[in-house]
Structure 1
Amino acid sequence: MPQAADPILASVLQRRVVAVSREMATVLMRSSRSPIFNEVGDLVTVVFDRAGRTLAQTEFASIIAFGAGPSLAAVIEAFGDDVHDGDVFIHNDVYSGGNQFADVGLYMPVFHDGELVAWTASKGHIVDIGGMTLGGYDPAFREVWQEAFRIPPLRLHDRGVPREDVERLVRANVRLDLTWEDIQSMIGACTIGRRRLLEVYERYGTETIDRHMDVVIEASERQVRAEVERWPDGVYHGESFMQSDGVDPSRRLRVAVEVTIAGSEITFDFSGSDDQTEGFTNMPAASAMGAISIAFLMLLNASGVTVPTNAGLFAPMHTVFREGSLINPRFPAATVFGNQMCDEVVESIMMALAEPLADRVCAGWNQFLPSAISGIDPRTGGVYVDFVLFSRGGSGAIKGTDGYDALGFTGTPGSMKSQDMEIFELSTPHHVDYLELDPDSAGAGQWRGGYGTKTRFRFLGEGVRGSTLGDDSAAEGAVPAQGLFGGRDGGLNTLRLTMPDGTARDWGSKEAVAIPTGAICDSIHGGGAGYGSPLARDPRLVVDEVREGLLSRERAREVYGVAVLDDASGHDELETDRLRAAEGTTA
């Protein structure tokens, strides 16, 4: 008769596996060469069991983290029993489980006493993975072969011996040595994870670990199902909009979801979304699953539920995607923009569940508008590639809490960092004049959205090419982040390029441009949307933000109905009551 699991040992082993994934992430960040890894943290490290179930992960970039499992499933399906101690596999193909071509996964099997017991994985945004454009982002993409070097499940090391033929193949299809160096760092992170796991297996044995990790996963599933059962059963609908498909800036595309809650099961059906586009604004299924997982976690966390990230966390969650739609396009559609569509996926889910889960949903986030920049650094004569990620909008508010300022992308909520300004200037030929919060940018509400930012930076490189990959462009007429329950919508984004000759132009949300040396970019990223009527906001909070310079006295009066004193030491209570009564009458 099997021995009963010890709950204390189960907890110890669960935390030990989490520690392994965290050490892997630390190793990867500290040994990698590219700033996208060691500065920004656009990566994830994961520990899986032998069957590919997630045991623990360290998700700096959540949209990548929740897309790591499908890639491993593709590796397991492709190689079956032909997996050996010392093997390493590489994968990035979005049509066999990948979430984005640039997000390359490395997978290492872990053997104990001759038996496959686990997998370690590292996955992250590689700075260049081939294709027709350095850096991998271009609105001109129309098919997968233009986007990147497509890697289906491929053996990189065979029984501990690197395959030089495969290395030559990969290196021949990328532009930068940096790519291979970062791949080596990813292998190193997996190797450290393998060593640490083997220490645990040597101490406790395979049967004990398997039995107790099953308990951990089952406990997570029970906890999540118990929470979902508290949510009202029903079928709910929501939508969000993306502006521009990279071909036609005036085109507006609909991301629509039907959410069905039935007992302890929840299903997200995106079949009602628009058809796939000609351009690169399509979202692979693995990327969509990652975005849905992020929204689901937001709802759970807002309920006060904290669950270890393992396979049990998502057992009650089901997804449906219509082949040939924006979400799950048909081969060989271009998809490199897909991760950015996390903003629309999350917002559509929150809008759908606003009525049944009013205490848990989040108002709309300002949709991220970063840019990929490449060119020649005149200081070294070498090629550089980087991403401008420090200009960020605000997140949406939830009941009881204002949105976070300058948080940025729903796909990496609070985890992926911005570049350090000095490192950005040292590693690339740019100069940042300023980066600051933008006053009056937050969507008003009883709980306001987060504030956006305004930035100015200068291009000092040669032959610079910039490509945007975002949304919410004011110049294109985008739909702003949606407020909830009387909260005001969020703000839009503006990128303005001023050339050395003084001419200026708007830079679209999905547009590649040649940028001359000395050009300037002025960037405004809008705030997140508000939750609840602005007239219900505590006047003291309004006064505090006027005093701090975040909110103008005029906006405090017009939107919040608060008459702030001239010295911002307080507010005129009688005048505030009158203003709010008048606004309430006309509302």
Structure 2
Amino acid sequence: MTQTGPVDPILASVLQRRVDAITKEMATLLMRSSRSPIFNEIGDLVTVLFDRHGRTLGQAEFAAIIAFGAQPPLEYIIDYFGDDIAEGDVIVHNDVFTGGNQNADTGVYVPIFHGDELVAWAASKGHLADIGGMTAGGYDPQAREVWQEALRIPPVKVYESGRFRKDVWDLIAANIRLDFVMEDVKSMIGSCVVGRRRLTEVLDRYGVASFDAHMDYVLQASERQVRAEIERWPDGVYRGESEMVSDGLDKTKRYRIACEIRIEGDEITFDFSETDDQAPGFTNMPPASAAGAVRIAFLMLIAAGGIVVPTNQGLFGAVRTVFREGSLLNPRFPAATIYGNQMCDDIFEAIMSALADALPDRVTAGWTKFLSGILHGVDERTGEQFVTLTVFQRNGAGAMRGHDGWDALGFTGTAGQMRAPDPEMFELSSPHFLEYHEYLPDSAGAGEWRGGLGTRSSWRCLGRDEVGVTNGEGMESEGATPPRGLFGGHDAGLNRMRVDYPDGTVLEWGSKDMVELPPGSLVTAQSWGGGGYGDPRRRPAELVHADVLDELLSIENARDHYGVAVRDDLTLDHEATTRLRGLAREGAAQ
């Protein structure tokens, strides 16, 4: 929109922060009023304000892969309804073939009017515990088409001009197993209504024309800031790749995710055209989700340079993405895609490996790919069905120059913002007993800056007819590639997961497997850490010693990987350390 009248930079900053505050209030309301632990404990959601054209003005992203997947559906909604948008409309959407990022990630979109003029949109989007399909929770490695995974919801009004559409509401509810899911949708609607109310107050105070002009200024300033940063990066063409092991149907199958990055002046293109063709099962990624994964990696590169930019549409004005139709990252209809969000790890790894030499101060070493479980069955305490996610399984982030990797950060797709559920809430909301959840010693890749630590967890299953589906990668039992260290840093390890059944049999649980979990089954998971950055023998001995004292690093690995000698009484042996590191330097010189 063309700016009208003078723009006050201070007022623009105030309005930008006000928009951000509104989206945070929307998120707080959604989390505190919802019934699902996926919302109120984990925070697998986003709340957003858009302008009338569908441009992102601000968002409160708890799950970044969902956050950056909220805008494409609105583009489709605006085009789909055209002039048939009225005050009081509430639109629900989840369809991955009309802009959605995952069918379980369902969005609510509410137009905001000022007088008779459509001026903005409020949206909330989150992972619903069930959305129909052939399996509770939606995750089934045997799924081969979208209808087996979920109820497809193209844009549909559940409120029309303020009138509740009971017929539409009941149609959706009839295809969902868990009653509380529709209560969560009510919470999503409520959060959007609060967003509409708060933004209307701002428009009443400053006027629509002034608000539009100042937000245009904010978006343009964000884009200028990002373009100036990209212009400092070396022009060139850079290539990287990652590998996905197993597609849920064939554990031996390997798929290549290939990225060509072109930096040209103040623009950057992420081209995944050489990525392998789509899979027959559920390990495909819709383009909205793939674009969100690219944005997550890009923002980490920007942030590593100390650049702080508001999360709005201007962030990505200089970014182009290419996903070949028929590939893993843009599958043809009616492909199954429920696993797609998880492939953020693969996109992230391909981008970081491509830019390692060009931007050594910005990239991270490899992250252990995330692995969690989706559990569903019947809770004997209530007689009701349950669906729960074991996202307390947390892997470590890769290190970067000047910084150790974050410990137990988790999934790249949430950028560390999605929370692990409280252990007691996990036990209260589903029939499980958590035996332990703690850091996994020796799981961090050694380096001058070490990788983040992973975790180990174990829980006992107590439900009836319980079934579990693993959701992730990086499995030792499947021969996956470990997260790589950078510039002399060491690789980290690989995930392990097993089930000890009540009859004494043991199962190595794969990365995309569905298994039955009879009462008394004990699940044990090891989620490994991130790769290291730089020569481990340059790491200050005091930091290595501190990890030994904290029981995060063994005496043996301190000696073998870092050249740091720690005595049996846990004191640091300075002389032996100097000697070990001197011998290592002599060996390297030879």
TM-score, length-scaled by structure 2 = 0.98
CA distance in 2, matches of 1:571, 1:370: 40
CA contact (8 A) 2:396 2:444 kept: yes
List gaps (5 residues or longer) in structure 1.
Answer: none
Identity score, percent: 60
Specify which of 166, 171, 174 is matched with residue 172 of structure 1.
Answer: 174
Letter in 1 for 2:345: D
CA distance in 1, matches of 2:280, 2:579: 54
Displacement after TM superposition at 1:248 (Å): 1.0
**1:294-340 Cα deviation digits (max 9, x unpaired):** 00000010000000011111101000011111111111111110000
Displacement after TM superposition at 1:103 (Å): 0.1
CA distance in 2, matches of 1:77, 1:3: 30
Structure 2 equivalent of residue 64 of structure 1: 66
CA distance in 1, matches of 2:324, 2:535: 37
Structure 2 equivalent of residue 583 of structure 1: 584
Matches within 5 A, 1:349-388: 349-388=351-390
Displacement after TM superposition at 1:279 (Å): 1.2
CA distance in 2, matches of 1:142, 1:388: 24
2:39 alignment partner, SS class: helix
**1:221-272 Cα deviation digits (max 9, x unpaired):** 1111111100000000011111111111111211110000011000000111
CA distance in 2, matches of 1:311, 1:104: 21
What is the root-mean-square deviation of aligned Cα atoms in Å? 1.0
Displacement after TM superposition at 1:408 (Å): 0.7
List gaps (5 residues or longer) in structure 2.
Answer: none
Structure 1 equivalent of residue 562 of structure 2: 560
Matches within 5 A, 1:168-207: 168-207=170-209
Displacement after TM superposition at 1:576 (Å): 2.2
Structure 2 equivalent of residue 529 of structure 1: 531
Matches within 5 A, 1:246-257: 246-257=248-259
Displacement after TM superposition at 1:586 (Å): 4.2
Displacement after TM superposition at 1:165 (Å): 1.4
**1:121-145 Cα deviation digits (max 9, x unpaired):** 0000000000000011010110001
2:210 alignment partner, SS class: helix
Structure 1 equivalent of residue 221 of structure 2: 219
CA distance in 2, matches of 1:273, 1:535: 37
Structure 1 equivalent of residue 293 of structure 2: 291
Structure 2 equivalent of residue 140 of structure 1: 142
Structure 1 equivalent of residue 32 of structure 2: 30
CA distance in 1, matches of 2:400, 2:477: 28
Structure 2 equivalent of residue 519 of structure 1: 521
Structure 1 equivalent of residue 473 of structure 2: 471
Letter in 2 for 1:474: E
Structure 2 equivalent of residue 271 of structure 1: 273
CA contact (8 A) 1:363 1:483 kept: yes
1:12 alignment partner, SS class: helix
2:413 alignment partner, SS class: coil
2:331 is the alignment partner of 1:329? yes
2:343 is the alignment partner of 1:341? yes
Structure 2 equivalent of residue 301 of structure 1: 303
2:437 is the alignment partner of 1:435? yes
Letter in 2 for 1:458: R
CA distance in 2, matches of 1:316, 1:582: 49
Displacement after TM superposition at 1:585 (Å): 4.4
CA distance in 1, matches of 2:290, 2:379: 36
Letter in 2 for 1:344: D
Structure 2 equivalent of residue 8 of structure 1: 10
Structure 2 equivalent of residue 130 of structure 1: 132
**1:84-103 Cα deviation digits (max 9, x unpaired):** 00001111111111000000
TM-score, length-scaled by structure 1 = 0.99
CA distance in 2, matches of 1:583, 1:446: 15
Displacement after TM superposition at 1:64 (Å): 0.1
**1:155-205 Cα deviation digits (max 9, x unpaired):** 221001111111121011111111111111100000000000100111111
CA distance in 2, matches of 1:366, 1:581: 32
2:23 is the alignment partner of 1:21? yes
**1:399-420 Cα deviation digits (max 9, x unpaired):** 1110111111000122100010
**1:427-458 Cα deviation digits (max 9, x unpaired):** 11100111111111111111111111111110
Displacement after TM superposition at 1:571 (Å): 3.0
2:186 alignment partner, SS class: helix
CA distance in 1, matches of 2:369, 2:235: 30
2:59 alignment partner, SS class: strand
1:559 alignment partner, SS class: helix
Q: Which deviates the most, 575-584 or 410-419?
A: 575-584
Letter in 2 for 1:409: F
Structure 2 equivalent of residue 228 of structure 1: 230
CA distance in 1, matches of 2:585, 2:522: 44
**1:65-108 Cα deviation digits (max 9, x unpaired):** 00100011111110011100000111111111100000000000
2:582 alignment partner, SS class: helix
CA distance in 2, matches of 1:162, 1:511: 41
Letter in 1 for 2:108: L
